[in-house]
Amino acid sequence: MRRRIGSGAFATVWLAHDDHLDSLVAIKVLADNWTDDLHVRQRFIEEGRFLRKVESPHVVAVYDAGVLEDERPYLVMAYADQGTLADRLEVSGLSSAQALTVITQVGRGLEALHDRGVLHRDVKPGNVLFRTVENGRGSHVVAMLGDLGLGKAMDMSSRLTMVGGTPAYVAPEQALGEPLDPRADQFSLAALSYYLLAGRQPFDHRSLAAAEDPAPPPSMGIDNPAADAVVLRGLAKDRDDRFEDVAAFTAALVEALGGDAGEEPRAWIPVDPDLATEVRAASTAAGSTAGSAYGSTAGDSSAGRRGGGRRWPWVAAAVLTLAAGTGAGWAAERASTSEREVEDATGTIAVTVPESWTAQVDPEPWTPAGGRAQQPSIASGTREGWNSEDDPAPGVFVGILPGEKLPSRLPSHPECGPSRGPIFDERDGDDYMTTFSYDCQGLEVTVERVVRLNQNQLLWIQIRSDELGTANRVLDSVTTYGV
């Protein structure tokens, strides 16, 4: 092991040198606090199995897998030394030729997965990794797909599974929880193509619920009607109106743009030596805008860290499952009669909680689903895993996310009994939207609240409590600074 290059809610990624391969590799190890969670452990192992099935330069390779002495599974994976597509797009856009190369290479990765009977289900910029490859023509930056945390074998896709994906890229049938086939990945690739060619996303979905019934996206406005028609067909709401497979989609787009998918431009994006430094390598291995490049491995989230942040995305159409990060957790003495104010790492958010709710505090930023920038957040609960679906416990999460208006609905909680809301209110010039769900699994109440802070920022609060009075006091104690 050379150094730790990333840490997420479910796994830690280490940079190492493989003496047999004579190259740098990324070793992804399941976090020790999830070793006994059979569901999380199984998802971690399944990701490795899916990736081991595929032999393609455009899918992140798994070289080896095993179990440590403490029974934590690990994966030895290809090291993406040139960051992610999300990293590149934060700096500048791509030319049409560069965009076409990325699209075709990602398409080849999807074809390889589909040929092996695997769906990716989460194609987006943060899951497109770049790696330097040396051959007779010199150094080339190759695009490859990573993060199969949502990957599913096609023979399992007809069974009922947790809804997941990124709202801006997910196919309607996937958002609805319907049985899937490769045309769902084609839809996501078409959404990525639209973004790369038009410079904007085809949809502005804030949740998976909004992706269930999308309106036809507008023209890309690129002065190429043929390419426009290809991408819009790939984004058809009805999967029967799309191309028969990914290969047909990419071939049609190549023809429309006058490119040659069989030739990859030499050094089409310059190799960036700075991306190999420890700071940038951490973002490469631990994740980026769309989640961890090497995958979060659990549930239908893309929980991963980028520069210390984490992703806590929406899942199951309208249900958000929080997955607290472990690296910043800390233990404290607890007294049920006292309270403590906790705040996020940036000093933007503060909330007062019972002392017993500070057994695990995570003050690090999060990256909201569909966003590309980290936002302040704070999570505090009575124990590790307090915000899990299977074994919840009292705690609170507060995070800032981009948004111009309140959502049409808040996450529902099927594990709870009756609910009250949504309740709309206004206080000190801020618009509120709140729901209360009662008789929850092992708890009295779960509270969801979204506050419109300003013209382009929202504040999201989730509280789980065994007493309604405590939940209300915590809710009213939330304070923001500088926003």
Q: In angstroms, rounded to a whole number, what is the distance separating the alpha carbons of residues 286 and 294?
A: 7
Tell me how many degrees the CA angle 137-109-116 measures, rounded to the nearest 5: 130
Residue 280: which H helix or E strand, with range? helix 278-286
The DSSP string of 76-110 is EEE--TT-BHHHHHHH----HHHHHHHHHHHHHHH
CA distances from 311 to 107, 164, 302, 445 (A): 25, 14, 6, 25
So which residues are the catalytic ones?
122
**Phi then psi dihedrals of residue 380, to 5 deg:** -150, 125
The token pair that represents 177 in the structure block: 């929880």
237 marked ligand binding residue: no
Rounded (10°) angle between helices 96-115 and 183-198: 170
Closest CA to 341 of 327, 326, 354: 354
The token pair that represents 38 in the structure block: 């059979």
The token pair that represents 369 in the structure block: 């689903």
Closest CA to 377 of 403, 344, 351, 347: 344
Kindly state the DSSP code that residue 375 receives in the 8-state scheme: B
Alpha carbon distance, N-terminus to C-terminus of the chain: 42
Q: In angstroms, rounded to a whole number, what is the distance separating the alpha carbons of residues 26 and 111?
A: 24
The token pair that represents 368 in the structure block: 């909201």
The token pair that represents 335 in the structure block: 């007294």
The token pair that represents 89 in the structure block: 């797009």
Contacts of 394 by beta carbon, 8 Å cutoff, 6+ apart: 354, 356, 357, 381, 382, 386, 443, 464, 465, 466, 470
Q: Please, which residues bridge with residue 456 across strands?
A: none
Kindly state the DSSP code that residue 186 receives in the 8-state scheme: H
**Phi then psi dihedrals of residue 64, to 5 deg:** -160, 165
Q: In angstroms, rounded to a whole number, what is the distance separating the alpha carbons of residues 183 and 189?
A: 10
Long-range CB contacts (within 8 A, 24+) of 226-233: 226/255, 226/256, 227/197, 227/253, 227/256, 227/257, 229/256, 230/256, 231/190, 231/193, 231/194, 231/197, 233/190
Q: In angstroms, rounded to a whole number, what is the distance separating the alpha carbons of residues 19 and 7?
A: 24
